[in-house]
Every structure is written in structure tokens, then in C-alpha cells.
Structure 1
């Protein structure tokens, strides 16, 4: 037998090993994941942990029993597993800390034992829910809906739940070094390429398409819950807090509205419930935020007058004076997203397909197209302006109005 034939035979046997479980012989439903064996493993461990809340325990157990791959479930993680805990930031109804998870998730595949091993120490974010010692059943329903979106590559990774020494619930999530959109833009002084802008938006659109395809909506999409993963080949945005908003210790009320005012659709401000089209409005404001490098309406109070102007005067963030290099097709899509008539807005699926087409034209198509030419011209204008600012060190100073609020609040 030739060396090539031997290699092919070895590869065939290897793929066959990965396809079938060495313990029970049944076919695996995904890489390294035998549904029966992993479910048995999870059940055998149920008695070894508790969150001291039956509803949360059952919720975690349901994610484990329904898991079809290694990143598809939550686990309860004892608080003693976290070290080097440091405060990061404060949100509307939560506080975020950075910590080292000593064991890490079951993410490493052991070729010899044909099983999953823990990764070892990794950085995580601990999101502490205010007053969650008395978490309300209504918020547990929100968490349940959130968990149904775990298997989505464009959502921020959530590993599980823990309780701190005060009894508060904390989500254990991947720590993203670049923070959210605002922190990322501050870090790079608003200097990002049009390619990176489209890359980030494509990730958000893909995540929204997945959420909307499951008959859900995010309901509180804004720059603070889009987390940035800056890799060597691309800059990606991950969606967090799907369906989670408001205080966790109070019952839900359809008359109460929690969110960040600049990102809330006018029809929602006027009393309608958040829905998929209001997510698209928020997406349009995110398009403006990335293109401008600024927070929307950073120079004025986020008050009833701003809400009135958005709803009744069709006020939107300034484009002509702020984004001088904006491509026409980008502007047209952005303005469709924030159209006052929800039926005129594109769907998440349309956004995903369109932005994917733009990325291909910009990055992969060797031929010049009208789309690539428009973005290349915009890129040249952008870097001409940035070059002048770098030469003179004359970057515009942005002052945030003390009554401009970018964390979720009660806007009812």
C-alpha cells in the first residue's frame, strides 16, 4: 500500500472515530458530542451543585439536557472558582467585574481519551444583577428566553451562572478586552476603516437574523451590549443581553420601558411593545455610531424633549456635518433602518445578505465593482481627514453632556 493510501486509510478511521462514540457506539450529533453519554454525565453531576434557587437550577439543567455541542449549555460555577476579581463598569441594573476562572470551560478535546477536558484558567466577565437575592419569576422567564439563543456564533459567549458572597446572581461570560462599542471607539479615537465597520455590522445582522428566525427580538439593542472581538483578520461585534432588560427583582409591566433613549424606536417610545422592526431601528442608530465614531446625541440631555423630537419631528442623528465620507449606499441603508414607518425598514435577513455582499465586494472580489469603488473612495476621504488630524494632533474633543445616558434606564 502506498504512503498516500495509508494516510487516506488512517484519515478515514480517524473520521470514523470522531463520528461514533467510543463508549456507546452511537453516532455523535456534533464534533465529540454524544447526546446520550453527555446527558448521562450531566445528570450524574446534578447532585454536586446548586444555585440555592430551584428555578435557576432547573433552567441550567434544561440547557444541559438539551445541549447538542460543547458551547450549547450553562453550568453553575462555584464562586470559589474565581480569582483576581476586579471592578470594570456599572450598567443600568448590573455591575460588571473581570475575573480569572480557574478551571475554565469544558472546551478542550482530548484525542487520546476521546472526551472533553477543561481549558484551565481564562479571563471572564462576571455580570452581577442588582438585588438578585430576590430575583423575580418574570426575570427568570427572560433568562430562559436568553438561554434559547446560546447556540449562535454572533452572540457573546455565556458559560454559566454563579452566586457571590452576598447571594447575588452573576452571569459568567467571556471577557472581551476591547469592551463594548463605546469603549472600543474611545480606544481607537473613532478611527476605524469602512471594512471593519461593515464587518462588525455584518456580525450584528447575522446575530439578529438568528434571533428573529426564532420568533424573538432583542428589545434593548444599543452600543453598550455589543462587545468587540478584535482579531488579526477581522473586527467582530458580539451581541449580549438578548431579551434581558430592567431590574431583576420586580415584576414585568407592559407600561414600563427600559432602554437607552437614542436607540429606542419612535413607535416604542409612543407605547408599542418592542419587536423585530424596533431592533432594526436600533441597528440603524448603531450604523451611525460606528460611521461617526460618536455616541448618538452626546451633546444634549436624553430627556422628554429629545423623545418628543424623535417621535413627532422625525429627529435623527446628524449625517452631513458629522460623517463627511459616508458612502451613499451605506447612508441609504441606515436611513431605511431608522425610518419612522416600521414597515419600510429592512428585515434582519435582508441586512445580513446585503452586508455579506458588501464584504465580498470589498474584500474578496478581484474586480472593481460599483460597491467596492464607492467604499474605496470613502476610505480615501476618511484617511485623508485622519492624516491631517494625526499630523496636527488635532482630534476633536468630545464632551458628553452630563444628562446624556448610555446605560439602560426606565424611560416610561
Structure 2
């Protein structure tokens, strides 16, 4: 809607002369073109083909869908030494790149040319379970949402394991970015990242969904000229791709899991809020939570008994108050993501008065933390795993 309460006008489609429904997008003609191209590609798996076609037939704007990309269209595929319990991460160059610009005169889309991408390889995915396919359908709109890490398409490696093609974020995940930025972050930077993360979570909850696996490893960062872009990744893509698991099996990273999830074995929107509170703590501290102890059943018991990280000295009161509210042991006392966005929006609109003199002061305590950081405990685990398997 524009300021007059009217839908914006994107002009007429050159082909059908109907109003475009988004910039450079005619829902009638562009979807018809995608449908016409169905015969020119296949993943070799009818379920994957049907899913990709579903995203294309329900697209509302350019790049609001997935496409099949043959593996030979990637070059310089390299393992990044990053992995989860059920996936491995590679970087690559996509030779053609995504659809980039509409040539109205030629009535064709041109592509961007070579771009760097991330390939998330789903381990043992030669035989995708129906449960995993159903999960993709539930979350498919989140895969392309602007407030979340962009998923571009799907491919298959030479071992027939499926890989999701994701946008490349040059500053890595939240942990690597904070380690690189020690001593250089301002509270304005922290709030900037927190706003991006909260709006991403808001979009998930608006769809009536939960993330269920929010932690620092799946917050991806890209520093821009005047802002820091922080995107939530792995929305709907965690868990094994091949096993017919019980719907009650929960995966997570212990420090970010709400105590009621350990007790009741169910994830909810309010358990996402607890995870968000832990991300707030990571942003304020600049280090990983509970890195000095094993992430085992003992830590789970301590969290359920009320263990929380200490508030870092120098944290603005409005920040720590919201963080502690998110970490409240009683889920009903936690704010909704919509309330969180309202709070953070107020911080952004009036940062100086909300944060006082700390607003433009470097995170002095980060340098101090850097001097006393010790290596993570050998049993501190920061990738997702089945919670019922932890001893």
C-alpha cells in the first residue's frame, strides 16, 4: 500500500496488457512461462519436481520460487569445514546465476552471470522421507522471504544427495562475525542486527509456523555500507532428510533450547522467543553461551532449574530487561515476536534516549572478553542434534 492506501502500480505487462502484480512480474505470463519450461528440466525425483513446480505455480514476484539447477552448472565447489548433524556446507560459483533483469523488448529474462553461492548438502538424502517433503511444503514461503536467508534452488551432487542452493553471506554466521568484530561493534550495530533477526522471526510466526532451531550458527551476516544484514537460515530445513522419524523428535543446540522443550518435548512460538533471548545475550557478550562446560544432560538439568547466562556489565537496562523477559522460565511471561519488533523499532527510532551514552560507545567489554576467552570445552556442541540422544 502507498500513502493513499492504494496498491502500487507496476505498469502493464507487455504481452497480455494486464496489470503486473509486482515489479517486472506478471503473474499470468511469468507463471505460464515457468510452466511451459517444466518439460526442460527434472531432478530425477517426482516428489522434488512436484515441490519445485508448486513453488513456481504459486510465485507472487520475481525469484519468489525455487528452480532446479543441474550440478554441472556449479564450479569451484569447496567444502567449508562447516556442518550440522544432518548436513554439510559447501561454497560454489553458480555459472549462470539467478534471473536478474527482464528485457521487455526481447520478452525474456536475463541472468546475473557467475555468483558465489552456498550449497547445503542434506546427508543421506538419496531417499527423501515423505515427512521431510511435507515439511518443505509447509515452509516453502519462508525459503524465499526477504527477511530470511534466501534459498535459490535445489541441486543434486554426484552421490545423489540433494543440496539446497542458498545465497552466500560473506561474513559467515553470527559466531564468526562476532569473533572478527571484537572491539569494533557499537550498540547501534547490535540493535541493527537484532532488528533484522526479529523481523525474520516475525515473518515465520506470521505464517503460523515456528522455527524450532534458532541459534547463532544459523544467523547469517553480511555487513553493508551503512547497516548489518542478519538473516535467519535453516527455516524448515533441520532434521534428517531420510528417516521416518517421530513427529515428536526434537533437534536443537542445548544453550538455545527453552526449558519447557526439554520437559515437554514440543516446540512452540514461545520457545522460539527463548532462543531469541539467548541470541540477544550472544550479541551483548560477543561469545558463545556456556562454552566452558560440556553440553550434556547435566547442563539440561541446570537450565531447567533456572540457569541463565549473567547479564554483561554495561548492557543497557532496556536491552537486558527485554532479554531476561524472553528467557523467563514461564513461557506465558515471554513477549510475542510482534511486541519484540515494536520494542526494537522504538530503540531504532530514538536510540540515544533509549541507550544513553552507550549508544555510540564501542563495546569496550568485548576487548576485555577477547583477552580472557578460553577454547570451547571439547564437549560443547553448537550444531543441532536430537535432544533425546544426549547423555
TM-score bin (small chain): over 0.9
What is residue 322 of structure 2 aligned with on the other side? Answer: 333
Q: C-alpha deviations, 1:348-378, integer Å up to 9, x for none? A: 111111111101112xxxxx53x142xx336
Task: Note closer, same or farther for the CA distance 1:51–1:381 as it changes in structure 2 (3 Å cut).
Answer: closer
What is residue 351 of structure 1 aligned with on the other side? Answer: 340
1:252 matched to 2:245? The reply is yes
Query: Partner of 2:372: helix, strand, or coil?
Result: coil
In 2, Cα distance between the equivalents of 1:377 and 1:103?
46
In 2, Cα distance between the equivalents of 1:77 and 1:304?
42
What is residue 158 of structure 1 aligned with on the other side? Answer: 151
Determine if contact 1:190/1:292 at 8 Å carries over to the other structure: no
Match for residue 93 of structure 2 among 100, 107, 114: 100
What is residue 380 of structure 1 aligned with on the other side? Answer: 361
1:221 matched to 2:214? The reply is yes
Determine if contact 2:182/2:366 at 8 Å carries over to the other structure: no
Match for residue 52 of structure 1 among 28, 41, 44: 44
Task: Note closer, same or farther for the CA distance 1:301–1:190 as it changes in structure 2 (3 Å cut).
Answer: farther
Determine if contact 2:66/2:151 at 8 Å carries over to the other structure: yes
What is residue 385 of structure 2 aligned with on the other side? Answer: 409
- Return 5+ residue gaps in structure 2 as ranges: 1-7
Query: Partner of 2:371: helix, strand, or coil?
Result: coil
Determine if contact 1:227/1:237 at 8 Å carries over to the other structure: yes
Task: Note closer, same or farther for the CA distance 1:254–1:394 as it changes in structure 2 (3 Å cut).
Answer: closer
In 1, Cα distance between the equivalents of 2:257 and 2:199?
20
In 1, Cα distance between the equivalents of 2:205 and 2:62?
24
1:188 matched to 2:188? The reply is no
Alpha-carbon distance, 1:144 to partner: 1.7
In 1, Cα distance between the equivalents of 2:125 and 2:40?
23
In 1, Cα distance between the equivalents of 2:76 and 2:282?
33
Task: Note closer, same or farther for the CA distance 1:382–1:40 as it changes in structure 2 (3 Å cut).
Answer: closer
Task: Note closer, same or farther for the CA distance 1:326–1:378 as it changes in structure 2 (3 Å cut).
Answer: farther
1:167 matched to 2:167? The reply is no
In 1, Cα distance between the equivalents of 2:34 and 2:363?
53
1:70 matched to 2:62? The reply is yes
Report how many residues are paired.
Answer: 380
Alpha-carbon distance, 1:161 to partner: 0.2
Mapping of residues 277-288 of structure 1, within 5 Å:
277-288=270-281
TM-score in terms of structure 1 length: 0.88
What is residue 5 of structure 1 aligned with on the other side? Answer: none
Alpha-carbon distance, 1:53 to partner: 1.1
Task: Note closer, same or farther for the CA distance 1:228–1:381 as it changes in structure 2 (3 Å cut).
Answer: closer
Q: C-alpha deviations, 1:264-308, integer Å up to 9, x for none? A: 100001124101000000000000001100101000000001000
What is residue 121 of structure 2 aligned with on the other side? Answer: 128
1:38 matched to 2:19? The reply is no
Bigger mean CA offset, 113-122 vs 134-143:
113-122
- Return 5+ residue gaps in structure 1 as ranges: 1-14, 363-367
Alpha-carbon distance, 1:135 to partner: 1.3
Mapping of residues 306-321 of structure 1, within 5 Å:
306-311=299-304, 313-319=305-311
Q: CA RMSD in A?
A: 1.9
Query: Partner of 2:116: helix, strand, or coil?
Result: strand
In 2, Cα distance between the equivalents of 1:91 and 1:146?
20
What is residue 178 of structure 1 aligned with on the other side? Answer: 171
Which is higher, the Rg of structure 1 or of structure 2?
Answer: 1
What is residue 139 of structure 1 aligned with on the other side? Answer: 132
What is residue 238 of structure 1 aligned with on the other side? Answer: 231
In 2, Cα distance between the equivalents of 1:123 and 1:270?
42
Determine if contact 2:271/2:331 at 8 Å carries over to the other structure: yes
Task: Note closer, same or farther for the CA distance 1:386–1:337 as it changes in structure 2 (3 Å cut).
Answer: closer
Match for residue 273 of structure 1 among 248, 261, 266: 266
In 2, Cα distance between the equivalents of 1:273 and 1:187?
35
What is residue 373 of structure 2 aligned with on the other side? Answer: 397
Task: Note closer, same or farther for the CA distance 1:45–1:114 as it changes in structure 2 (3 Å cut).
Answer: closer
TM-score in terms of structure 2 length: 0.93
Determine if contact 1:245/1:259 at 8 Å carries over to the other structure: no
What is residue 365 of structure 1 aligned with on the other side? Answer: none
In 2, Cα distance between the equivalents of 1:181 and 1:277?
22
Determine if contact 2:318/2:355 at 8 Å carries over to the other structure: no
1:22 matched to 2:3? The reply is no
Query: Partner of 2:196: helix, strand, or coil?
Result: helix
